[in-house]
Amino acid sequence: MRRSPWSVVAFWIIVASWILPGTGQAQTAGRRAATLASLSGSPIFFHGQQVVVQADAVRDGVLTYLVDGQDRMVALAVPPPPAGTAERLEVSGRFYDVGRLEPDDPRMGGLPFSRLSESLLGKPWPGVGELLVLAASATRNVAVTPAVTLRTLALDPAAHLDRDVTVSGRFRGRNLYGDLPRPAGRSRWDFVLASVDAAVWVVGKEPKGDGFELDVQARIDTGRWLRVTGRVESHAGMVVIDAAELALADPPATPRPQPRVAARQGPPPEVIFSAPLPDDTDVPRDTTVRIQFSRDMDPESFEGRVAVSYASRRPEGGADPDAGSVAFETTYRARNRVLEIRFDEELELFRTLGVQLLDGITATDGQPLPPWALSFFVGG
What does the pLDDT look like over 98-131, one tens digit per residue? 999 888 776 554 555 777 788 899 999 999 999 9
* Interior angle at CA 349, CA 343 and CA 352, nearest 5: 75
Q: Are the C-beta atoms of 189 and 207 separated by less than 8 Å?
A: yes
Residue ranges, the chain, pLDDT below 50: 1-29, 109, 319
pTM (2 d.p.): 0.65
In sequence order, what are the beta bridge partners of 138?
92
Q: Which residues contact 106 (CB under 8 A, 6 or more apart)?
A: none
C-alpha closest to that of 180 among 201, 156, 152: 201
Look at residue 78 in the predicted model and tell me its pLDDT. Answer: 83
Look at residue 103 in the predicted model and tell me its pLDDT. Answer: 84
Look at residue 30 in the predicted model and tell me its pLDDT. Answer: 74
In angstroms, the CA 299 to CA 362 distance is: 9
In angstroms, the CA 366 to CA 360 distance is: 10
In angstroms, the CA 104 to CA 110 distance is: 7
Q: If 0-12 CB within 10 Å is exposed, 13-18 middle and 19+ buried, where does residue 333 land?
A: middle
Look at residue 79 in the predicted model and tell me its pLDDT. Answer: 79
Which amino acid is located at 212 in the chain?
Answer: F
